[in-house]
Amino acid sequence: MELVSIGVSHKTADLSVIEALTFRDQKRALHNIFSLEPIVECILLQTCNRVQIFVATLDKEDATKALVNFLLKKAGVKAQDVEKALEIKTDDAISHLFRLASGLESMIVGEDQILGQVKDALKLAEEAKTVGIFLRAIFTKAIIIGKKVRQGTEINKGAVSVGSAAVELAEKFVGDLTSKNVLLIGAGEMATLVAKSLSEYKLAGIFVANRTYERGVKLAEELGGQAVKFEMVDDIMANSDIVISATAAPHVLITVDKARKILEKRKRPSQLLIIDIATPRDVDKEVGSLSGIKLFDIDGLREIAEENKRKREGEIHKVERIIAEDLKIFNKQLVRLHQAAPFLSALLSKAEETRMKELEKALRMFGSPTERERQIICDLTRVLSNRLLLGVINNLKMAADNGDIELIEYAAKLFDIDTKGGKLVEILRYRAGKGSGKSSH
Specify the pLDDT at position 8.
97
Reply yes or no on domain 162-299 having CATH 3.40.50.2300.
no
Q: Do residues 129 and 438 lie in contact, with contact meaning Cβ atoms separated by under 8 Å?
A: no
Q: Do residues 268 and 247 lie in contact, with contact meaning Cβ atoms separated by under 8 Å?
A: no
The long-range contacts involving 257-260, CB below 8 angstroms and separated by at least 24 positions, are: 258/234, 259/283, 259/284, 259/287, 259/290, 259/293, 260/290
Whole-model pTM: value is 0.75
Specify the pLDDT at position 406.
76
Query: Any idea where the domains of the chain sit in the sequence?
Result: 2-158, 162-299, 335-433
Angle at CA of residue 121, ends 114 and 63, nearest 5°:
110
Residues of the chain below pLDDT 50 = 421-441
Q: How many CA atoms lie within 13 A of 322 on its CB side?
A: 24
Buried b (16+ CB within 10 A) or exposed e, 413-437: eeeebebeeeebbebbbbbbbbbee
Buried b (16+ CB within 10 A) or exposed e, 307-342: ebbeebeebbeebbebbeebbeebeebbebbebbbb
| First CA to last CA distance, the chain | 28
Specify the pLDDT at position 401.
63
Mean pLDDT score of the chain? 88
Catalytic (active site) residue 48:
yes
Catalytic residue from among 1, 29, 40, 48: 48
What's at 248, amino acid-wise?
A
Specify the pLDDT at position 159.
59
Specify the pLDDT at position 58.
84
Establish whether domains 2-158 and 162-299 are of one fold: no
> In the CATH scheme, what is the homologous superfamily, with its name and number, of domain 2-158?
Glutamyl-tRNA reductase, N-terminal domain (3.30.460.30)
